[in-house]
Structure 1
Amino acid sequence: MSLYIDADACPVKAESERVATRHRLKMYVVSNGGLRPSQNPLVETVIVPEGPDIADMWIADRVGPGDVVVTGDIPLAAKCVEAGAQVLKHNGEPLTQANIGNVLATRDLMTDLRSADPFRQGGGKGFTKADRSRFLDALERAIRAAAKS
């Protein structure tokens, strides 16, 4: 059982490391650079080459049942769910077989809407303390569920 972090623009790396350490889990922090490596022996910083979705492919090629993935990338999440992993968004929202289809469809719809109106700006909400708290609770639950699988 491992914890994979899609680390580019991930606001919960430190929280994930604390939880992984408490559970004695190997944690992979995957990005294409720009991160300070952790001194924690349970944390491996993986730097992949520049390019679209290289970090996502690295994670998707390795993840399986019993693993936990933290990502905001919906196509990566879909691959990880299909592989049998527990998947969480940064705000703690679980992505599962039951909801990944709808989440993918919504993502595609929003992409189409944004491309149809190039003047549409912003719209995203900030990351709050409540999001961080929900994430920590959801990560604990996901690790316990992964341990059972």
Structure 2
Amino acid sequence: MTISPCFISLVDESDKPLLVYVPSALEKDVNTVLKYNVLCNMSLDYFENQLFKWSSLDTKPDIKFLFDLEGIVAYGLVIQQVGLKVIVGFSNETKPDELTDENIDDVFTRIKKVYLKAKMNPFVTDSGNENLAVKLKEKFSEEFPWT
């Protein structure tokens, strides 16, 4: 079973957001977009906290539970090799049998694959983060079709 996140945020090693992806159906709702941006910024504090190391999923120690706030359950992952922080928010109204460690891990795996395909494309010579954000947004729209 595949679950759809409410938002996906990618933050580089210097804590600069590359992208806060919100489904196109919600992009026009300024309050929702602002809420997700604030939650993503709050998440960065959790990565710096010593408790971050202790808050992992039972079966996936790299994926950490960050918080349950404002109707959003957020999880985070740091890809140590490149310093990339991945933050994913799910609705806390998601059924407990859907928000399992395996389903959460599946979402993070799909995000990592999309990121690597966009970042490591040998046919693209421009490595700027602005173009990367555009490519990621397009690929996330394909990978996570929200209804």
TM-score by length of 1: 0.37
More strand per residue: 2
Which of structures 1 and 2 has the larger relative contact order (alpha carbons within 8 angstroms, sep 6+)? 2
